[in-house]
Copies of this chain bind each other. A is one copy, B any other.
Amino acid sequence: MKLLLIHADKMKYEVKKKTKVAEDFDGKGYEMNEVLVAFISVEKGDNEAVAEKAVEEILDVAKKVKAERIMLYPYAHLSSNLSDPETAVRLLKYMEDLIKNEYEVHRAPFGYYKSFEISCKGHPLSELSREIKGEEEEVTKALKDEEKAVS
């Protein structure tokens, strides 16, 4: 899972057009002020454990920058290894549910062309990117590192 986190004075979007993979959505758009926007690419192999780690990162940054609310914004352009749409929607909903307990949160709908306006604050922590990997991938990487150290 790839995250691009932007601490914004304002984020506003408007639904323009459905794509073939659009989830059901009745709204027309949404606007939030003093918001941490998480642009999210759900990738192949991502699961609930990855989503939980991503939520930890998002909440950690939100608290650090003192964001007042969080917007989850599906964003296919951060990865060339995207999951199938069903997995993406399932994990984005799961993330929304986890965050709801601690923070005001809005999840933008998956699978729509949207116009948006964002104003990024510009302080050093106002733009951050994160790559979240699953346990297995981490273990694989750790093993490889060990192999390298040995050989």
Interface residues of A (CB under 8 A from B): 4, 14, 16-17, 76-78, 80, 113-124, 126-129, 131
Contacts and interface: CB of A to CB of B under 8 A. Distances in A.
Nearest to A116: B120
Contact of A124 (B17, B127, B131): B17
Contacts of A127: 77
Copies in the complex: 2
A129 B77 contact: yes
A110 B129 CA distance: 18
A117 B114 contact: no
A16 B113 contact: no
B119 A116 contact: yes
Contacts of A17: 122-124
Contacts of A115: 119-122, 126
A36 to B, nearest CB: 15
